[in-house]
Amino acid sequence: MTEYKYDTQCLIEGQNLDEDKINAYFQQNFDGDSLIAVGDETLIKIHFHTNKPWEVLEYCASLGEMFDVVVEDMDRQSRGLKG
């Protein structure tokens, strides 16, 4: 079993998005690893492994319009099942 069960990904479209502030918020407020938060002022790609994807998605939705949301169970995937 993996330490962080869910691979959580999404795109955020908005205004004045700041990838450095988003990275800092993740590091201070969420338990997880493999953080990628990259983009520009209008579009950010998020990738994060966590046990509480709903908290991550709630934060992301507060930043702008969220789309292409994917939450995959990596434990199931490691057993050869659909994530």
All residue ranges of the chain with pLDDT < 50 are: none
**Closest among 6, 5, 10, 19 to 60, alpha carbons compared:** 10
In 10 A of CB 68, how many CB atoms? Answer: 10
Percent share of the chain, pLDDT over 90? 87
* Whether domain 6-75 has CATH 3.30.70: yes
Report pLDDT for 19: 96
Q: Write down the domain spans for the chain.
A: 6-75
Tell me the whole-structure pTM to 2 decimals: 0.92
